[in-house]
Each structure stands twice: as structure tokens, then as C-alpha cells.
Amino acid sequence: MKKIISTFVGLFASLFMLSSTAHAIEIQVVKSDTGVTAWLVEDHSNPLIAMRFSFKGGSTSDPDEKLGMSDFLSGMLDEGAGDIKSTEFQQIISDLSIKMSFSAKQDRFNGSLQTLTENRDKAFSMLKLALTSPRMDAAPYARMLQQNLVGLKTDKENPRTIVSRAWLKTMVGNHPYARPKTGTEVTLKNITAQDLKDKAKMLFTRDDLLIAVTGDIDAKTLKKLLDDTFGSLPAKSSVPSITDASVNTKAMVQIIDRNMPQSVIQFGQPGIKRLDKDFIPGYIVFHILGSGQFSSRLMEEVREKRGLAYSAYATLFPMDHAGLVLGSTATVNARVGETVKVIRDEFARMQKDGPTQKELDEAVAYLTGAYALRFDTNSKIAGQLLGTMTARSGIDYIKNRNALIRAVTLADVKRVAKRILKADQLTFTIIGKPEGVTATTN
């Protein structure tokens, strides 16, 4: 009994400390002499530094004939830079326990750097080389091209990738969001090493460069490193502007015929963007409706009551140029019609009546309590800072976020459920041999 009590005491103590983490975070704004700005959270308890950064532009800036260029570039930046060839470059960062990675999203190009304090200067200098002087030598270029082509073949056979792309194409038409981020076999083969160098020059600029740093570093030291690492980048971006997508509002069922024992279903409707005034109550509505937690309505109705699927979720899916609602599930072919009906019914029920007070109270308790788990490492904190910057939520958002959620009333979520949910606009894309549904166009 004493051991059990001790365990619970330790657990509650840990949760209490975690719950105070987000509120205790002090964010400093550090601006270098060249105008590079970063948010910094100092933490000298361990000799570690984590940085997350993001450049304006991503896969939507790839030309049609060279789709996949940004994604290709993200895999080449640690394959040698400056006078350091690929093998030596990767050996250096491995020997010094430096973690460096890059990823191309649709709207932005992201990167991360993690290092021990003692290797800080070398880590930042290696990053600078990667961003300003990538080599794109023939051997690593050919290897990465082959790796990407193999990935495309895998994607062609992956039901979730197929259904996701088809659904997005249905929702946004010919908008750049509907293009495959990883390109096609034809477009990848069109991309040259010089194209990748040119793409790096286009993307890596100080215009709308977002940087978040956490760990064993002070503002004065960071200020100099910001200049040393990013200060020589061009001031202005040449990334082409992207127009907002025209989102489909017609209810549709699209069926992709595949000989599979189970159908994969992706569904959704028009949604809202991140800066919409109703985003926070909308976020709570979708936590209650389709968070994927066992308490959510979709999980209760689809899994617990009927055993139709292992999981089902629906969430707000905000992008820079489109606001969507995105959901997914999978079930045996014979029960697809029933599953689709249950999802429609739950959207309609939430739209009509909204959540109950009990559901709202439980959602608020969960969302505010679990928030601290996003801040239990330097890497996570840097990620949260960058996410807040990217969402344009403001520097006080992390401190105020839980208060914003607690301030949402039952009247708020009922009103927002009526505003956002559109059961009569749900579009379903299904891959498999579904029974009980018919393909429609309106």
C-alpha cells in the first residue's frame, strides 16, 4: 500500500510540475544586427540546444514540370556543403552528436538543429553551410533520386496515400495543394542538381524566416549565431504568391476500385483557417466529435457501439490558403454504407444540438491538462514555439492558451458547431470494394 501511495504521490507531483511548465516559460525576442529574429526560451539545466526554423514557401512553389523539387531538396541538404563532401559531412555531424533535418511542407520549408552546448558553434556553422553552399554532388544526387523514385512506387500501392490525394483533389480542384508533394516519376527526372541549388536560393531568405530556440544558450550568444548562420541569406524572397483555394461545397462520394478486403475512407468538408475568430471553440467541438480519443462521438458510435472500425477521427485542417475539415476511418467492405451513414448522422447531430455541458467540461479538462505534455523537452518546446509563430497566434499564446480554452462557454460551442459543421457538404473518398454506397457527384 505504501508503494502504491508513493507511486500516486510521485505521479501527481510530476503532473503538477508539468502543468506549470507552459505558464512558467519565458519567451525572449532576440533580434540580430541583420534583422534575423528568434524566440528564445533559456534552459540551462542540461547542456543541450534545440532550434526549429521555417522559411516561406514549400511544395506549392514547385513548378508543375518539376514537382517534388522542394521535397528532393530537403533530402539533399546534409549530403555535403561547401568544401565538405557527403560522407565527411555526415560523419562530422554524427561524431559530434548533431541532429540536423529538413522537411518540405506545402506552405513552408522547415528545418531543425539539435546539439550539445560544447559543439554549438560547429553545429551552427554546419547548418550555415547546408543552407548557403549545398554541393549537390552527382553520387548523392543519383542515390537520393533513386530513393525518391522507390518512394513513389510505394505510394502508388499505398491505399491511404491514394485516397488522401484523391480526396484533396476533389476538395480543392487544381489548386497547388492537390499536387503530389513528392512529385511524379516524370517530374523528378526533370530536376537537375542545379535546379536544387536554385531552389535553395529561392527558399532560404530572411523574408518571413521564423526561428525558435530552446536550451543552454543566452540571448547575447544567440544574437551572434543568428547573424553568423542566417545573416548572409538574401533579404527578400522570390517565392511566387499562392491564391486561396476554392473549396468544394457539394456532398460527394468518390469510389476508387481496388481488390481489398477492407475499404479506407477519407472524408471532410469546408472548414476554417487558424486565425478565424471561432478556431478555439471549433477546436473543442472537433475534440468532442472526432479527436480519436475513446470519449469522442465518432469513436463511441463507430467503434464502441457498432464495431465498425478500429478508429475514426475528424479534425479541423487549416492551411494558409484553405480551411478544411478532415476525417478518416477504415472498415470491412460489407459495412462501408453503415459507417458512412453513422459519420453523416454524427456530423448532423453535432451541427443541430452541439455538445453537452458534460462533454464541454471533460474536453476542457483534457485539453488544458494534456497541454503541458507538449513542453517536457527542449525539442518539444522549440516545436511549440515555431508552431505558434507559424500560426501567427502571437507571443503570448502559449501563456494564454489554456485560459482561452477555459473561457469557451456552452453557448459558444453550440453556435460554432452550427456555423462550421456542414453534414450536407461531406465528401467521402473510398478505396476498396465498398458495399452499401454509390458514387455520386452532387
Per-residue confidence (pLDDT) for residue 21, from 0 to 100: 55
Lowest mean pLDDT among 292-296, 306-310, 396-400: 292-296
pLDDT in tens, 174-195: 999 999 999 999 999 999 999 9
SS (H, E, C) 274-314: CCCCCHHHHHHHHHHHHCCCCCCHHHHHHHHHCCCCCCEEE
Question: How far is it, in rounded angstroms, from Cα 356 to Cα 9?
Answer: 33
Which helix (DSSP H) or strand (DSSP E) does residue 264 occupy? strand 262-270
For helices 86-95 and 120-132, angle between their N-to-C axes, nearest 10 degrees: 150
Cβ atoms of 417 and 351 closer than 8 Å:
yes
DSSP output for 204-233:
--STT-EEEEEES--HHHHHHHHHHHHTTS
**Residue 254 pLDDT more than 90?**
yes
Domain boundaries of the chain, sorted by first residue: 25-230, 252-432
**369: confidence class by pLDDT, cuts 50, 70, 90:** very high
pLDDT in tens, 33-45: 999 999 999 999 9
Per-residue confidence (pLDDT) for residue 10, from 0 to 100: 45
Question: How far is it, in rounded angstroms, from Cα 412 to Cα 406?
Answer: 12
**Residues 6+ positions from 410 with CB-CB distance below 8 Å:** 354, 355, 357, 360
**Residue 11 pLDDT more than 90?**
no
CATH classification code of 25-230: 3.30.830.10
The pLDDT of 410-434, averaged and rounded, is 98
**CA-derived radius of gyration, the chain:** 24
C-alpha cell at 152: 513513389
The pLDDT of 82-86, averaged and rounded, is 97
Question: How far is it, in rounded angstroms, from Cα 185 to Cα 10?
Answer: 55
The pLDDT of 125-149, averaged and rounded, is 98
- Only one residue has cell 477546436, namely 283
Q: How far, CA to CA in Å, does 48 sit from each of 110, 203, 214, 274, 427?
A: 20, 28, 8, 32, 46
Q: What percent of the chain has pLDDT over 70?
A: 94
C-alpha cell at 170: 476533389
Lowest mean pLDDT among 17-26, 100-109, 287-296, 305-314: 17-26
Same CATH fold, 252-432 and 25-230?
Answer: yes
**Residue 372 pLDDT more than 80?**
yes
Q: How far, CA to CA in Å, does 405 sit from each of 361, 370, 371, 401?
A: 10, 12, 11, 6
Q: How far, CA to CA in Å, does 88 sit from each of 79, 84, 115, 383?
A: 9, 6, 18, 29
The pLDDT of 421-434, averaged and rounded, is 98
Top-level class of domain 252-432: alpha beta
Query: What does pLDDT average to over the chain?
Result: 94
Per-residue confidence (pLDDT) for residue 324, from 0 to 100: 98
**5: confidence class by pLDDT, cuts 50, 70, 90:** very low
- Only one residue has cell 503538477, namely 16
C-alpha cell at 190: 526533370
